[in-house]
Amino acid sequence: MPQMGESIFEGTITKWLKTIGDAVEKDEPLLEISTDKVDAELPSPAAGVLAEIRFTEGATVEVNTVVAVIREAGATIPATAQAAANIAQSPVQRSAPPQVAQVGRIRSSPLARRIAKEHGIDLSRVAGTGAEGRINKEDVLRAATTVGLRSEASSATPVEVARDSGRAAPPQVPPPQVAQTPAPDPSTLPVDPVPLTRMRAIIAERMVESVRIAPHVHTVYKIDMTRIARLRDQHKDAFNQRHGVKLTYMPFIAAAAVAALRRFPIVNASLESAPQSDSAGLAIRYHQTIDLGIAVALDWGLIVPVIRRAHERTFASLARSIADLALRARSKKLLPDEVGNSTFTLTNAGAFGGEYGMPIINQPESAILAVGGLRKEPAVVTDAEGNDSIAIRSMQYFCLGFDHRLIDGADGGKFMLEFKKVLENWNQDIG
């Protein structure tokens, strides 16, 4: 179990990707682990044959502990190790749902097939770099980058990049992957209670803690996104060609949030313990940087990767970072230092068609902004001479959740008015 960061002391084995007797290549994914910061794949440190698995799925192991033994190719595996293979195969592995079927004679890893399915990539068009032309995860990620199919950020509580639902008449149609997901057969659902995964348990603990310690207040603003929608339509093709990433709504939203946070640093601050303080043992920590959390919804839980020093980034840099972090979060390639210690979080409650959400603060932050669904609707528009008319506009709800111990309603309102002004009067260069 390798050291995955200075503050990480243990990891939970969530899945073995190989069984005893399987051949493994150097750097080929061997197992998946979950820590209190990130889920990740661990690559094989050498090529050979997996000869021994010392810990089963679900085991929590301290760093620097040997979890498996790899022998040279062709080495004899002891009978005791072969027998242990059945033990190491947890019920989760034996009852796992079938993977996406391979096409023809295409050789690919399960994770590669899953990522390809998520991003609509035809594996027959992907060149495999693994043993005997086997397609691995890196091959699929490379293909996704090449054709500009980087995943849009989604919500961890949940954030996905806001979709261009403004092109369709309301009501907004939910994303295809939601509508097409078949309902599970009740007979296949577990009869006995299923223990929480480590990630799910950590999420539960932190959500309860946040609600317990912070008096949450929420304020909702409807913002006219018509100017942003038009800019996106005009520049999305050129932006994709120039930067190799889709132009979504989220970089606009992130840039507007950063601009508002710079005007009102109290929203980017946090409370911390100060035993010598005369004010109930608390003090305000004004952060010198804006480290923007972009919550991402995963099939197995929720995670908040962080764009460090977001206030120093260009629009294009924000767009690339959002897409990159979301893609690597889903493929378990995030580093521990890329998760945690954010100062403000964006989360997309509207990714699945919701009007708006009332998010729980990501501690120890003091505020979180939920992105609602984007819809075209009739609105009253006033011209320069004060004349009113009805027009079709792209409207979107945004909900700011904040800790009332630190942020008053007036501060929250000022922040949201600045955020609204930046979006409705956009004048930044998008590169």
- Residues, the chain: 431
CATH number of 1-96: 2.40.50.100
Express each pLDDT in 314-352 by its tens digit. Answer: 999 999 999 999 999 888 888 878 888 899 999 998 877
Model confidence at 265, in pLDDT bands (50, 70, 90)?
very high
Does residue 408 carry a catalytic annotation?
Answer: yes
Q: How far apart are CA 392 and CA 403, in angstroms?
A: 36
Closest by CA to 14, choosing from 67, 44, 50, 59, is 59
pLDDT attached to residue 401? 97
Closest by CA to 320, choosing from 112, 115, 151, is 151
Express each pLDDT in 77-91 by its tens digit. Answer: 765 555 454 444 443
Percent of the chain with pLDDT over 90: 45
Side-chain-side CA neighbours of 201 within 13 Å: the count stands at 10
Residue type, 378: P
CATH number of 100-149: 4.10.320.10
What is the phi/psi pair of residue 242, to 5°? -75, -35
257 touches 311 (CB < 8 A): no
With a CB cutoff of 8 Å and minimum separation 6, the contacts of 197 are: 14, 34, 300, 301
Residue 29 has pLDDT above 70, yes or no: yes
Asked if the bond preceding 195 is cis, omega within 30° of 0, the reply is: no
Express each pLDDT in 49-74 by its tens digit. Answer: 999 999 988 888 888 899 999 998 87
Does residue 235 carry a catalytic annotation?
Answer: no
Express each pLDDT in 102-113 by its tens digit. Answer: 444 576 765 667
pLDDT attached to residue 8? 65
Q: How far apart are CA 387 and CA 76, in angstroms?
A: 86
Q: Is the pTM above the cut of 0.85?
A: no
**Lowest-pLDDT choice from 295-304, 372-381, 419-428:** 295-304
Which of 235, 403, 404, 411 is catalytic? The answer is 404
Tell me the sheet residues that pair with 108.
Answer: 135
Domain with CATH 4.10.320.10 in the chain: 100-149
Closest by CA to 81, choosing from 65, 69, 66, is 69
Check residue 125 and report its DSSP letter: G
With a CB cutoff of 8 Å and minimum separation 6, the contacts of 192 are: none
**Lowest-pLDDT choice from 121-135, 139-153, 285-299, 407-421:** 139-153
Domain with CATH 3.30.559.10 in the chain: 198-424
Q: How far apart are CA 177 and CA 292, in angstroms?
A: 27
CATH number of 198-424: 3.30.559.10
pLDDT attached to residue 246? 94
Which of 122, 233, 237, 408 is catalytic? The answer is 408
Domain with CATH 2.40.50.100 in the chain: 1-96
